Chains A and B, each alone.
Chain A
Amino acid sequence: MTPHPTLAGRARWLTSPSTISVFAGIALATAYAWASLSIPAGTRLAFGVILVVVCVVFNTVGDLVEQRRLSVLAQLGRGALPATPEHLLAAALSVARAPDVTLVLVASFLSGGAFLVGVLWSASTAAPGQAGLRLAFIGLVSAPVTSLIASLSMFGRVRTVLGELVAAGLPAPQLYAALPARSWGGRLVVFALVAAVSPVVLIADLSLERFSGLVARVGAGDHAAARAAIEGSFVQDFGALAVLVAILLVLVAVCAWLAGDAIGGPLRALAEKTRRLAAGRYDGDFVPAEFESLDAAAALHAMEHHLLEALRALDQTSASITTATAALVATTARSSERLDASAALAQTNATTTELARSASQIAANAQVVSSLAQQTFAAARSGKGSADAFAGAMGQVREGNQAIADSVVRLNKRVQQVGRIVGFIDSIADRSDLLALNAELEGHKAGEVGRGFSLVAAEMRRLAESVLQSTREISGLIEDIRDATNAAVMATEAGVKATDAGASLSGRVGVRLTSIVDFANQSSEAMQRISEATGQQQLGTEQLVGAMTDILRATRASADASGAMALAHEELVELAQGLTRALADFSETRR
């Protein structure tokens, strides 16, 4: 993963002011100790070595603790962790806590370190135990003020890194919600005490040291020597005291400046932001802050968010208003056009007069149509009578046809009976023929004796044959009659069907004619009513003409009023356009 462009190296950068402050504090404390303690010449090297070793060890340990605390930020900077909101938030919380961590670390390490150096130095160089104790005391006194400076010096960089984390994708509201709510209250009291008490203690210490030295010298020597010593040391002591006071003043001033900056920085930023909001520039920027100003920043941010929401809604409303205004402008323009319609009304008045003339013409035509309808009614009634008569005739034809069909069927039956009888006669004739034939044959066999018999038989055969001939002819006739009757039956059946169809047709014609008679009757009445209505309409139209004239007059008055209304519309349009422009400006500044 590639290092993050803005967060790379920020963990180290964040803690570097504290390191500088610590070393500055140690340097000052050492200088003081050097000046106030009369370190024996033989132990100076040991003192220096011990001091350097302890400083290096403690600084290394403190630095490791600080960097471990900021490990998420360091990983983000290296690109070892993705810049997700969770990781960014964890980094931001560790960053926000960093000054407190530094404060505790520096205070404890400095006091502990000073104590350790005093003990080691005393033990290693057989220096007087009182001197070691004093060294520890100097460390203990200088530790609070040094740690205070170290901590306060980080605030500026903490804010910068928090701003960068928000820029890297950490949602500001989430950060505001997650940052611990703390108060300057007690902290400021402690700071003030440290800033005020530390110089006093140091000055008191130096004074006491000088005084006890003087007392020792006075107690040991004569009065003149003591006087000289006091006068000599007064100048020397005064110089040292002046230097110490100057250094302490600088320290207190630095402390105050840093504390003021820690408190004032966020307030300045908030003030600046509030000014921007007041000017209508909604950038949604994150303002890093601590303690009470953090709440203010969070509240301001929420307020800005709501304002943005409201503005967005207002923007939409303004767009609607713009559209509506444009429509209104267009409508007003059209409405102005419509004012010209009074000329058209004059035209309409003329048309209405024409309508009145047409109405009277229509009334005359309606009369004619009415009489025609009555004629149609009469004709239809007569047609219905004819249709009824036709239907009756069809019924008679049908009955006749049915009678014929029945007769033909009866005839057919009779003919079949005749056929059977003829068949019977035929068979008898055939047998007679055969009988006569055999008789004739027998007669011939009998020779002369049978001749007469043969003659009779032959005569009988001729008779039988003529009967057979007749029956054959009758059979032919019967066949003809059967064909004819079959044809007749079919014809009469077709006739019956045709008359049935005719009867049904005439029935339908009758129904149609009945409905036509009804319609004709209705249309005759309707025509009558139309004729009457047209007469009334004629009257109405004349009244309409009068009314139109009145309307024309009223319209002209209305046209004047419309002119005034148009002016009002134009003003409204201008107002709307002004509003649109204002909103547009507003939107411009927001971007």
Chain B
Amino acid sequence: MRDALRGHLVFACGAGLYGVPSELASEVVNLPTLTRVPGAPAHVLGVFALRGEVLPVIDLTRLLGSPPPEQEWKRAVVLRVAQGVVALTATRVLGVASLEGNGGPLGNSGVQQHLKGPFQAPAGDVATVDPEGLVAFLARGG
């Protein structure tokens, strides 16, 4: 299948570029000071409050087992799905782009099954994240 995907918000997370459907990305925020959660898994960097709501912040590189980024985390992309709200850390947010190409699932198990790719964007190859699948995966305990 080769078609143009709807608009995705593309952001850099360490070495890789990831995209989330723009209608599920509610907003982009500067990453504030986080509160550590005792007993939480390592990919949960902490939580922060956004307009009276507690948001867990997820580090995709830790979740995927990728090498940690050289730059500091600067932004967080807030994803809002039916099951809940979650923020993904980003070193840089490139903007909304249309993606092209035939991307398949990156794996059959774990979090990889909720990522697809590669897709082509002006900035380079992008892997898309399925927010609903990711949130469901996290709710199961990572």
Contacts and interface: CB of A to CB of B under 8 A. Distances in A.
- The short answer to whether A and B are in direct contact, CB under 8 Å, is yes
B96 A441 contact: yes
Nearest to B25: A441
Interface of A: 430, 434, 437-438, 440-441, 444-445, 454, 458, 461
A434 B7 contact: no
Given A458-B95, A461-B95, A441 B30 contact: no
17 contacts: A430-B30, A434-B28, A434-B29, A434-B30, A437-B93, A437-B95, A438-B27, A440-B95, A440-B96, A441-B9, A441-B22, A441-B25, A441-B28, A444-B22, A444-B23, A445-B22, A454-B96
B116 interface: no
Contacts of A454: 96
Contacts of B7: 444
The 4 closest A-B pairs by CB, nearest first: A444-B22, A444-B7, A444-B96, A437-B28
A440 B28 CA distance: 11
Nearest to B26: A441
Contacts of B93: 437
A192 to B, nearest CB: 158
Contacts of A441: 9, 22, 25, 27-28, 96
Contacts of A444: 7, 22-23, 96
Nearest to B27: A438
Contacts of A438: 27-28
A434 B9 CA distance: 13
Interface in B12-56: 22-23, 25, 27-30
A454 B22 CA distance: 12
A445 B28 CA distance: 14
Nearest to A445: B23
Secondary structure of the A side of the interface? helix
A437 B97 CA distance: 12
B114 interface: no
Contacts of A430: 30
A445 to B, nearest CB: 5
Contacts of B27: 438, 441
Residue of B7, B23, B75 with most partner-chain A CB within 10 A: B7
A423 to B, nearest CB: 15
Contacts of B75: 434
A445 B93 CA distance: 17
Nearest to B98: A444
A539 B61 CA distance: 115
Interface in B76-99: 93, 95-96
B98 to A, nearest CB: 10
A124 B75 CA distance: 180
Residue of A440, A444, A454, A461 with most partner-chain B CB within 10 A: A444
A43 B93 CA distance: 190
A438 B75 CA distance: 12
Contacts of A434: 28-30, 75
B94 to A, nearest CB: 9
Residue of A434, A437, A440, A461 with most partner-chain B CB within 10 A: A437
A224 to B, nearest CB: 199
A461 B94 CA distance: 10
A440 B97 CA distance: 10
A445 B25 CA distance: 9
Contacts of A440: 95-96
Contacts of B28: 434, 437-438, 441
A51 B52 CA distance: 175
Contacts of B95: 437, 440, 458, 461
A434 B28 CA distance: 7
A195 to B, nearest CB: 159
Nearest to B30: A434
Contacts of A458: 95
Contacts of B22: 441, 444-445
Nearest to B93: A437
B112 to A, nearest CB: 26
Nearest to A454: B96
A438 B95 CA distance: 9
A461 B10 CA distance: 14
A458 to B, nearest CB: 7
Residue of B23, B25, B30, B96 with most partner-chain A CB within 10 A: B96
Contacts of B9: 441
A424 to B, nearest CB: 16
A438 B96 CA distance: 10
Residue of A430, A438, A441, A458 with most partner-chain B CB within 10 A: A441
B20 to A, nearest CB: 10
A438 B26 CA distance: 8
Contacts of B23: 444-445
A428 to B, nearest CB: 13
Contacts of B25: 441
A469 to B, nearest CB: 13
A306 B23 CA distance: 153
Given A438-B28, A441-B28, 6 more contacts: A437-B93, A440-B95, A441-B25, A444-B22, A444-B23, A445-B23
A311 B23 CA distance: 151
Contacts of B30: 430, 434
A442 to B, nearest CB: 9
A454 B95 CA distance: 10
A430 B30 CA distance: 9
A178 to B, nearest CB: 128
A99 B30 CA distance: 155
A458 B23 CA distance: 17
B90 to A, nearest CB: 11
A440 B27 CA distance: 10
B7 to A, nearest CB: 5
